[in-house]
Structure 1
Amino acid sequence: MTDASEDPNQEMQYHVELTPGDVADTVLLPGNPERVDKITGFWDDAEEVAYHREYRTATGTYDGEPISVTSTGIGSPSAAIAVEELARVGADTFIRVGSCGAIQPEMEVGDLVITTGGMRQEGTSKAYVRDEYPATADFEVVSALVAAAERLDYDYHTGVTMSADSFYSGQGRPGFEGFMAEGAEDLVDHLQEANVKNIEMEAAAIMTIANIYGLRAGAVCSVYANRVTGEFRTEGERRASETASLATKLLAKMDEVKAEAGVDRWHAGLSID
């Protein structure tokens, strides 16, 4: 029998410690709890509403539009918990805001990567659906992120993201004392040949789970490292945060335009100016 404290039908969610009304429709999902303050720095106002384990949540407004942010910690298992429990308290749109390693040589440190689809090299989404099910970003979320990056004049790339469960062997890096997992030495080369843009650890699971539940999801990550050139700098975090925040405003505008036009999906023939 399920203990009441872990019952997903309870009003107070077990891990994120949120209740209905605590978050906006759209929630940004960084990994690091410290990134919450950096994201809310772009907003009109913000208030921390919960902080339990790795899950730190703040809600406020950006350019007058309600918006929330919840940190998820590292990896897909904890990100999946966040999506599950945030959906239960009313969120319907999720944008991962993170950092990544770039695969293509022309991608610069500090550039943004807007995910259109994901390679499910994490194990969490496999607990939900068979391997053949695609991890795809919602078209409206991708469109809003691209429009935001264009308006902010930030360099960006779009394409497929690989999500891994391991920072070291699962991403082709040496483990302790130089250990290399089978296939790790050739991993980056194979991904580059397949036109994969970047590697991170949460996007594929977030998008897969959102798709299963009929919710919207996407991801924008700043390039910290280029795995081909060997360049590394912690740069571009603010760009990803600002782009995701503006995208939230644009998504709200898309929803208004859809309602006025009497359609279910936004498309390029509908203005969001």
Structure 2
Amino acid sequence: MQNLAEIILNDDGSIYHLHLKPEEITEIVITVGDPDRVDKVAGFFESVKLTRQHREFRTITGTYRGRPITVVSTGIGTDNVDIVLNELDMLANVLLPERVAHPFPKSLIICRMGTSGAIRPDIKVGTLLVSEEAWGIDGLHAGYDFGPLTEIQPGIYAYHTRGDAGLISEFQKAGFTKGITLTTSGFYGPQGRSIRIPSALSWLRSESGFVAEKGLTNLEMETAGIYALSALLGHRAISLNAILANRITGEFSPHPDAVMEELILRGLDVLSRL
């Protein structure tokens, strides 16, 4: 069922939150959490066609090795991913401002580039990891039918989703380590951190239970939402993770910026050849 009348546009005809028009995005879209990282990615573009920012949503469209690419910040978490993925889909698949279904629907390539923490001791800090699968305990499933949920602890439910198999293969060929990612709704308690408040999810730092059963490799805050929404909307999604910490060994990367830059450059290289 489609209810395109619910699409909200700004006075200039741009989509509500991103402030973008259909011709201002490309069929390859890189998503990053941090608005400042948009400029880091676009710093490798040979040309820039558009720069736009509204709230935490910063967008730059340009070319890398001749390939048109858009990079947009989501902010942190799947609540923002919900906004960005839906609005990107509207830009690609709805004629605006008429609010009519596009006669030639597009399947975007959506590539997350972000940081992450490992929850297995054998995953070294500095690893570049591509998420083959993702489990989400972020709550986004309350708004959509992501399929059956798994009760991983009493009262805690997770949904399961996968990245695009063809894209995963391409990034494996480029040296990315394949992993299974857990997406959480927050950075502290929801990722098992106990600072001044005990976390109900401290078991995420163990190598047993759900972590071992599902072969989880890393924690972050967007991948499952991107994969699940992309599957429903008909887009091809991939998540690239720079492992900057190991939650089991307590190790942190001494050169986080260099690790992230390597991920960006390798990611752009693969995307430009698709």
Contact 1:48 1:59 in 2 (8 A): yes
User: Does structure 2 conserve the Cα–Cα contact (< 8 Å) formed by 1:141 and 1:247?
Assistant: no
Q: Distance in 1 between matches of 2:111 and 2:47?
A: 19
Q: 8 Å contact 2:129–2:178 — kept in the other structure?
A: yes
Counterpart of 1:186 in structure 2 is 203
Q: Specify the SS of the correspondent of 1:206.
A: helix
Please state if 1:199 is matched with 2:219: yes
Residue number in structure 2 paired with 1:260: none
Does the 8 A contact of 1:144 with 1:250 survive in 2? no
Q: Cα RMSD between the aligned structures?
A: 2.2
Structure 2 distance, partners of 1:75, 1:197, is 19
Gap runs ≥5 in structure 2: 93-106, 149-158
Provide closer, same or farther for how the CA distance between residues 193 and 5 of structure 1 changes in structure 2, counting only shifts above 3 A. Answer: closer
- Whether 2:273 is the aligned partner of 1:250: answer yes
Tell me, in whole angstroms, the C-alpha distance in 1 between the residues paired with 2:171 and 2:113. Answer: 11
CA shift for structure 1 position 242: 1.5
> Partners in 1 of 2:226 and 2:146 — Cα distance?
15
Q: Which amino acid aligns with 1:16?
A: L
Unaligned runs of 5+ in 1: 151-155, 252-273
Q: Is the 8 A contact 2:137 2:185 kept in 1?
A: yes
Distance 1:60 1:237 in 2: 20
Equivalent positions of 1:73-112 (< 5 A) are: 73-90=75-92, 92-112=108-128
If the length of structure 2 is used for normalisation, what is the TM-score? 0.81
CA spacing shift, 1:186–1:134, aligned 2, 3 Å: closer
User: Which moves more between the two structures, 44-53 or 71-80?
Assistant: 44-53
Distance in structure 2 (CA, Å) of the matches to 1:7 and 1:59:
20
Alignment-derived partner of residue 260 in structure 2 = 237
Alpha-carbon distance in structure 1 between the residues aligned to 2:6 and 2:250: 50
Amino acid at match of 2:205: V
The structure where strand makes up a greater share of residues is: 2
Q: Could you tell me whether the CA contact under 8 Å between 1:101 and 1:226 is conserved in 2?
A: yes
> Any idea what SS the aligned residue of 1:220 has?
strand
Counterpart for residue 166 of structure 1: 186
1:1-273 alignment, distance < 5 Å = 6=8, 11-90=13-92, 92-132=108-148, 134-147=160-173, 149-150=174-175, 156-175=176-195, 177=196, 179-182=197-200, 184-189=201-206, 190=208, 192-194=211-213, 195-233=215-253, 234-235=256-257, 236-251=259-274
CA distance in 2, matches of 1:207, 1:193: 22
1:144–1:248 Cα contact (<8 Å) kept: no
Contact 1:28 1:244 in 2 (8 A): no
Q: Please report the TM-score for the alignment, with normalisation by the length of structure 1.
A: 0.81
Q: How many residue pairs get matched?
A: 240
| C-alpha distance in structure 2 between counterparts of 1:26 and 1:121, whole Å | 27
In the alignment, is the contact (CA less than 8 A) between 2:191 and 2:202 conserved in 1? Answer: no
% same residue: 31
How far apart, in 1, do the equivalents of 2:111 and 2:7 lie? 28
Whether contact under 8 Å (1:29, 1:72) holds in the other structure is: yes
Secondary structure, aligned partner of 1:207: helix
The one-letter code of the counterpart of 1:207 is: Y
Displacement, 1:108?
A: 1.8
Q: Distance in 1 between the 2:226 and 2:240 partners? A: 12
